[in-house]
Amino acid sequence: MKRKNKIKKSKLSSFFGKMASKITRAAGKPATFLIAFLIIVAWALAGPVFKYSDTWQLVINTSTTIITFLMVFIIQQTQNKDTAALQLKLNELISSSKYASNNLISIEDLTEEELDVLKKFYTKLSQLAKKEADIHCSHSLDEAAAKHKDKIGIAGK
């Protein structure tokens, strides 16, 4: 029973993902903007015919509300997919570099407070790098941790 639910969810998710990508691409084209603009112009020109009635106003208000409501979910799904793909690409780059800290893989899962701590650390590293004579010199979290252990050892003596 669970296997059927997973297959159904997978098919539904796959279908929605493909549909969302196509709709998002189509929505970003100039032709789509032009069509939307022409619909609004036609609606405005129809105002005098319908004597600017409540129904005339309700048509555009309801239409735009429904389209906006649906587009929020479609764009969010596409954005989530793009963000996940980007994170995976960055993780690959981090993991493939012997100088990069693997602590940064899946950093997007950290809390705001943890991210603030890391941001402060990288700000300090940036300041250190500016003081270096060699513009290609870099520092890593691991290097900083090793230096910190050395400093503790020196201070304890």
What pLDDT, in 10s, does the model give residues 94-153? 888 877 777 788 888 889 999 999 899 888 877 777 776 666 666 666 676 676 567 667
Asked if residues 140 and 100 have their Cβ atoms less than 8 Å apart, the reply is yes
Q: What pLDDT, on the 0 to 100 scale, is given for residue 35?
A: 96
Distances (CA, A) of 149 to 36, 61, 87, 145, 154: 62, 64, 31, 6, 9
For residue 84, is it within any domain? no
Cβ atoms < 10 Å from Cβ of 114: 11
| pTM (two decimals) | 0.62
CA distance 155 to 157: 6
CA distance 147 to 157: 16
CA distance 104 to 90: 9
Q: Which domain holds residue 48?
A: 1-74
Cβ atoms < 10 Å from Cβ of 20: 20
For residue 32, is it within any domain? yes
Q: What pLDDT, on the 0 to 100 scale, is given for residue 57?
A: 96
For residue 153, is it within any domain? yes
More confident residue, 44 or 130: 44
Q: How many domains does the chain have?
A: 2
Residue that is last in its domain, among 39, 74, 109? 74
Both tokens assigned to 38: 């022409």
9-13, 35-39, 83-87: which has the highest mean pLDDT?
35-39
Asked if residues 90 and 108 have their Cβ atoms less than 8 Å apart, the reply is no
For residue 85, is it within any domain? no
CA distance 123 to 121: 5
For residue 57, is it within any domain? yes
For residue 36, is it within any domain? yes
18 and 59 together in one domain: yes
4 and 38 together in one domain: yes
For residue 133, is it within any domain? yes
67 and 114 together in one domain: no
61 and 16 together in one domain: yes
Burial label for 5, CB within 10 Å (0-12, 13-18, 19+), is: exposed
More confident residue, 155 or 113: 113
115 and 51 together in one domain: no
